[in-house]
Chains A and B, each alone.
Chain A
């Protein structure tokens, strides 16, 4: 895995999650790139392939599901973890994600261990 690929993109309108992801992943040598709404996320994600894109479903300007479609159009192999809220209708979202080739689901509020597990699974980075 190249150094380049150690970059993770988080597209989420909630600044606190960016802080949390940095707190969790930077100690593992993973760089966190941030986008704070759907459109910005789409722009950043189109620039290159990331090790993982963590993509929130609920966002201003463009919903996560739309961003996901565009990303997968550009880069079908891009690994994506969808961040959803447990108030979402889980079944529809799950079906949609399967169809779109999403790697995993992370339901907010999540335990940080889940983030680390996913990172390890997808990127092969040791969790600790």
Chain B
């Protein structure tokens, strides 16, 4: 059942409706954050705390001949200098990545990307530590690097991963999905086949807060406390236990406030391990906070897919099949953060929102001398790349057929009665109703009027473009039968305790990096048990205080932990009902739940509130037979499927014909993320993701020179958008609940990042139609747009 609304708020007052459950309310965490009372990792100060700085490789590929630390050790304030050789002695020189590869903590044999960790210094303060780095003398034997991903598998390419036994080339993995023969048959009988090379360049999540940690190892207790910038504290704790051989109950990972993650804070970085080693070696708490350049050059990047897309259709615009071949650059170590059985993440949803007859993808992933990582940056495990591919290639088809791109999409949507819909690559879309979402976006945009305006402008030589993207996301990883990270199933725990006075505390396994969990989860619990959100404390981020779960990324918090929170609240409510029946002296069946209280059916005057029940649960007097005291419950939720949000985005751009500058004039985003818990937070998420999309489409790219020097090592070189590059966002929504999620919610955190880049690129390409442009790769900087206008668009790599 889809209901269609338009969402507009006229004032900030509308955002504070004080709901007991779902609805607009201001974020509970904001007073703390706005007043500067947030507590981030770098705010942690412990008595006797030392500071750690990391020496990084200036070369992309070089043999480490020797490391002389004597001068650094003699530098004032220095407590320890640790090299790869030191770690080797402890068995800690290498660590597993999230993709079953290994990554050097500190280089022992070779450095394999510029910025790789070589040694670290622990000193009394940050300055002394940094100054001492200058005194470490490393002799390198510089090797030829592999920078051009297309040459990585050339027979004469230098071998990067000689640490892997028997490795003779830079091949990382092959992966395929769909049916090659079936797809070939469909392409063979199609009227029209369009092919396009499409590059999604390497970008970086660039969170405002860089990564860092404070490690405090207590040698007497044998306990390690680690404050760190982690989106997945529980997963990290277990991995530290496995890597470092520390007993898991003696490791406490605390993720305090986090200043943005976007996937950048999912992996375990060498710096975290260095901080732990630093604390063990010195016997003192040790803080490591990377600087901006370190964050940009060494931590998890995203994308870096070179794709060839092909689409087959009938002459009248029925899409038959999509095929793609992908070359994936995974950097020096395969540090991709994705469920292990999905080495290409969820790229398999490249069939998009369309009812196809066949689809096939073949992917080859390679190692290069670039920073490891992959997947990060609000991408829903590579769905960003998948949606970009399909939405770009569909536009190419529209151009080939001379058909309106909106009309082409509407003609090919999966229809409401086809859900649950199994795609040709095996994904089961839970629910969807695409046409109303698309129509709403077109209505808000005034699509027909925009096309008329464009025609007039074109006649005058002005360049205006209208770009559409329609996406289906797959989020909420995931069912433990086929989704795990290094053997840890992707189910989430949740715990709810109602205090005697009717206030409550809910403990989550997921961790906010700015998404507003402290508000959203209080609202989910409030909706179920009728306690106002203000009376519900949300505890998260501390592994000693919260149940196990896999963390926040891939838009999974609401689909997985949100379900857990609803179900644990229902469990508490069930118990409350037993107690209420005793209090009102009726049977359980005679009670009905009216939010916040149980009433005797047909006699609303006879009722007890949840608060009264809570006091009874903890108070004097007998409880019904078999009912324990207290009012609390715990749950571990294993999702039966992913959830599949969708959305329709329309972008309007103007391009200056003289300077080739692109101005995003309007952007309309209609999202369907199922049940909406807090519309204000959803809109905030969408606004942020759209801004990310403008960045990727128009300016962001981590590039390298031929020697492998990273050219995006500061925010002057790696551009991220500001308020001046983005328009007033126009948002709308439809609601198609997820049938298997307890409250029908689907997750929205990454929808806008996933869906917006193709809309913007499609708009620019549309604007350049008078120049015969059919495709231009991101980032669409003025220079690259100008090249496209002159018929010489080049891929960015």
A binds B: no
Give me the interface of A with B, judged by CB distance under 8 Å: none
